[in-house]
Amino acid sequence: MKKQILHLVILLIGFSASAQTIKPSEAKQHVGDKVTVCGIVKGTTVVKGNPETTLLTLGEEKSKATVSIAIWSTDYPKFKYVPAEYLKGKYICVTGWMKLQGGKPQVIITSQEQVEEK
């Protein structure tokens, strides 16, 4: 029980941590940090699978991406729009935890509230 409470406290502290605003080119220096990353959505890809995943590319096109934003299909109902269509070409800021996926920086978002249009 104490271990579960400790995990909950750590989780709550993590959610309350403020996010530093960074450029996509700075993403690799912030792996493990809660960040707000801003940039133009240069590309969108919907990867079929279980779950299906929408990837938004901030920075340069796919293979030269500086950071990707991942949205799982299980979270699509939390968006009032289709992210792959609506956000393409827009300047956005996304807040979440920076991680590495396949050696490239990525932020996984779970709701529309994590996306701010500029």
Q: What mean pLDDT comes out for the span 83-87?
A: 97
What's the predicted TM-score (pTM) here? 0.81
The 3-state DSSP class for residue 5 equals helix
pLDDT value at residue 18: 83
The 3-state DSSP class for residue 19 equals coil
Domain covering 19-117 in this structure, CATH number: 2.40.50.140
Q: What mean pLDDT comes out for the span 27-45?
A: 95
Q: How confident is the model at residue 45 (pLDDT cuts 50, 70, 90)?
A: very high
| Mean per-residue pLDDT over the chain, rounded | 87
Residue 88 phi/psi, 5° resolution? Answer: -60, 130
